[in-house]
Structure 1
Amino acid sequence: MNCSVDATWRRITAWLCTHSPVTAATLQRPARAEDVRAVQHVVGQPLPDDLLAWWGLMNGVDDEFGYRTAFTVPGVYMPLGVTRVQEEWASLSARPDEDCCRPGGLHLRSAGEATIGFCTALIPVCRAVDGAVLAVDLRPGAEQGRVMDWMAEAGSCRTAWTCVGAMLADTAQRLEHHYAAPETPARPGDPTIRENGSLTWA
């Protein structure tokens, strides 16, 4: 999985450097190993290899001050730096979903199942300006590692991405295929370039 993430991330960064240097410049250096270990310690369980590989390549973007030009994945979600992941998880986990979370790190629902509240086994990895997050589902089950979409008003639901690696592969494919034919009108989910040169998604 690591090699796949490495190759996919090279495709994404190469595209950004060519088509949106201003967005490429918002990517932060690889996460520090001690910060990653701190997240794992707080969460209390191993993190997926593809997520660890991604953090080994970049440490998110500044989602508070650099959001106007920051790199985003489809849906306009900004990757969180590892320290921000820990902060976001602690904040959202303060009131765990009573219909799923149980003492001792147990959960009544399996990976990929929807929740109303925030499940403590969801690790936020990307955030939108409106507060919605993309989170990796660490609950046991066949879909462990799936990327979930969570909003305070709607709870969590499955995305089409089975894992972080799939999310990055989809991002790379959308970037490359749409701009292989730049005369094609943008459809929902297609990449577009703003007037300031930054990447966004239709």
Structure 2
Amino acid sequence: MIWRVNWTRADAWLRSHAPELHAKFLPPATAADVAAAEEAIGAPLPADLAAWWTACGGLEEADYAPLVPEFYSPFGVGRALEVREMTMRIRREVAVDPRVGDVDSYEARKLGEPAGSLIGDLWLPLFVPIAVSASGSYLFVDLREGPLHGCVMPFDNVEGADEEPLWENVAAMLAGVAEWLEGDFLAEWRP
């Protein structure tokens, strides 16, 4: 399980080099929490995301720290579900381009596109937020079907999902986290 190796590296680095930050992590999710999340989302979570959440509880919003390269602070499962619901509602009511017309049809069409497809300003029900930047932009896991199912993409708070995936899955993202911590993290962030 490559995700475990990568998160273990990151966790060990935090314990050794940033214990005050490590102490701020919330308790990890339980299997019941993950099952409840899957029920709320209406789809199974990728194994690497579910496993990461059972190892890492994320940080409170007030304890922002850019642990996911280079600007994102990780969510636990509870905060992820809150942000998902809020963002779906806000994006659907306010941010969708008025030229779209029928938002339901537009959403259905976008849900049918393969994971990793750019979407713009609508937050789809199969987007699972996993981290937030200080500016309020998100990283999310795309649960749409396709070869990139489970990829990690950025969602800009102004432009939406208009960039290619950053990582093919959560395991690859966690490798980036470990490399970031072991490399440039201390130069970029001071507790």
Normalised to the residue count of structure 2, the TM-score between the two structures is: 0.84
Q: Which runs of 5+ in 1 are unaligned?
A: 179-189
Structure 2 residue runs without a partner (length 5+): 97-102
Matches within 5 A, 1:31-180: 31-63=29-61, 65-67=62-64, 70=65, 72-94=67-89, 95-96=91-92, 98=103, 100-102=106-108, 107-116=111-120, 117-156=122-161, 157-176=163-182, 178=183
Specify which structure has the higher proportion of strand: 1
Identical counterparts, % of pairs: 33
AA at the equivalent of 1:34: A
Is the CA contact (8 Å cut-off) linking 1:146 and 1:158 kept in structure 2? no
Deviation readout 1:80-125 (Å, 9 max, x if unpaired): 121111111111112446475229xx72321101111222211101
Q: Does 1:7 align with 2:5?
A: yes
In angstroms, what is the RMSD of aligned CA positions? 2.2
SS at match of 1:152: coil
Runs (4+) of structure 1 exceeding 3 A deviation are 95-100
> 2: CA distance between counterparts of 1:173 and 1:194?
14
Residue 192 (1) aligns with residue 186 (2) = yes
> If each structure's helix is expressed as a fraction of its own residues, which one has the higher value?
2
Is the partner of 1:101 in helix, strand or coil?
A: helix
Please say which of residues 39-48 and 12-21 is displaced more in the overlay: 12-21
Question: In the alignment, residue 117 of structure 2 is paired with which amino acid?
Answer: E
- The whole-number CA distance in structure 1 between the counterparts of 2:14 and 2:66 is 9
Question: 1:158 Cα deviation (Å)?
Answer: 2.3
